[in-house]
Amino acid sequence: MRRLVRETWLNPSQLVLPLFVRSGENVRQPVDSMPGVHQTSVDEMLRDAEAAAEVGVGGVLLFGIPDHKDAVGSEAWNDEGAVQQAVRALKRELPQLVTITDVCLCEYTDHGHCGVIRRETGDVDNDATLELLAREALSHARAGADIVAPSDMMDGRVGAIRQALDGAGLSHTAILSYAAKFAGPFYGPFREAAESTPQFGDRRSYQMDAANADEALREVLLDIDEGADMVMVKPAGPFLDIIHRVKHETGYPVAAYQVSGEFAMIRAAAERGWIDCERVMMDSLLGIRRAGADVIITYFARDAARLLASGG
C-alpha cells in the first residue's frame, strides 16, 4: 500500500555521476577524502561509465585535471585535453549516456580561481574570463558533449557561451548553468579530487552568500534570460528550499548537485558504524527529488542506481 500511494520516486535515469579524468593510461588514483572516488585516465573512466550505464544511470559529468596549469587555464580549451578525449570516447563507446562537461577554469589555473586574476588587485576579472569560458565550452561541444555546464559563477557567462555555440553552428548543445552556486565549506573533498584549491583568498566574491534566497532566484532568472536550458542549485542538501523555489517559480528543468562534502560526511559516518549508509544515501536523494530536482548529480549515482534496480 505504501508503494501504491508513494508521491515521489527516484529513477536511475535521473542520476548523473561526476568523473575526474586526466591524461595517461591505466591511471586510477584514489581520492582519500572521498572513498570510492578516483582520478582516472580515459580508459579507466570508460570502465566506470560503463558500470554506471549498466545500472541505468542517466549521465556523467566530466571534470578535467591537466598536466600543466597556467594563469589563464589554457589547457581548458585544448582540443586534445583529457575532457575532450573523454567526451569523444564516451560518445563512441557509450552514446546512451548523456555527456555533460564542467566549464570552469579553476582546475586549469595555477592560482585555483575560476577566472583571470587582475594583477593590480588580486581579484577575478569577470569580463576577461567570459571569452575563455566560451572557448572552453566550444572545445567541449566540438568534441561531442551533449551539455556544457558553466560552474564559474561569472556574470554573463551563459550569454557568452550561448552566443559562441550558436555562432559555431552548435545550437543543439545544451547549457546547464550552475545558476545558484553557494560559497561555503562543503567543497573541500572536491578540491582535493580536482586539484583546484585556491592558492590565495577564497571564492566568496563570485559565489553566492548562503543566507540569500531571493538573490539565488535573481541569479537563476538572469541565466534563463541569457539562454540556459537547465539550471542547477549547488550544494543540494543544505539548500532544499532553494531547489523548491527555483522549480516552482521557473518551471525549468532543475539539477541539484549533492556535493563532495555531503557525500564524504555520509561515507565517514557509515564507516564508523553510526549510520546505515544505504538508507541515509537513499533518503538524502529522495529528499532532493521531493524538493523539486529533476536531475541529481551525485557520487552515489552508481550505488543508488544499483539499489534501485534491485528493488531496494
Sketch the domain layout of the chain as residue ranges: 12-309
What does the pLDDT average to over 88-106?
96
Q: ω into residue 235 within 30 of 0, thus cis?
A: yes
Distance (Å, rounded) from C-alpha 289 to C-alpha 287? 5
Q: What percent of the chain is modeled with pLDDT above 90? A: 79
Q: Which of 69, 91, 181, 247 is catalytic?
A: 181
Q: Which residue has the cell 546547464?
A: 176
Q: Which of 69, 91, 234, 247 is catalytic?
A: 234
pLDDT value of residue 192: 77
Distance (Å, rounded) from C-alpha 157 to C-alpha 161? 6
Tens of pLDDT, residue by residue over 18-40, are 999 999 999 999 999 999 999 99
Phi, psi at residue 26, to the nearest 5°?
A: 55, 30
91 is catalytic: no
What are the DSSP calls for 230-267, one per residue?
EEEEESSGGGHHHHHHHHHHH-S-EEEEE-HHHHHHHH
What does the pLDDT average to over 256-270?
96
pLDDT value of residue 210: 93
pLDDT value of residue 219: 95
Tens of pLDDT, residue by residue over 205-225, are 778 899 999 999 999 999 999
Distance (Å, rounded) from C-alpha 6 to C-alpha 205? 42
pLDDT tops 80 at residue 200 = no
pLDDT value of residue 141: 98
Distance (Å, rounded) from C-alpha 63 to C-alpha 16? 13
Q: Does the domain spanning 12-309 belong to CATH 3.40.50.300?
A: no
Tens of pLDDT, residue by residue over 136-156, are 999 999 999 999 999 988 899
pLDDT value of residue 196: 67
pLDDT value of residue 312: 63
C-beta separation of 8 from 287 below 8 A: no
pLDDT tops 80 at residue 237 = yes
Neighbours of 312 (CB within 10 A): 10
234 is catalytic: yes
- Three-class SS of residue 224? helix
Q: Which residue has the cell 570502465?
A: 47
- Three-class SS of residue 36? coil
Selection from 288, 281, 181 nearest residue 231 by Cα: 181
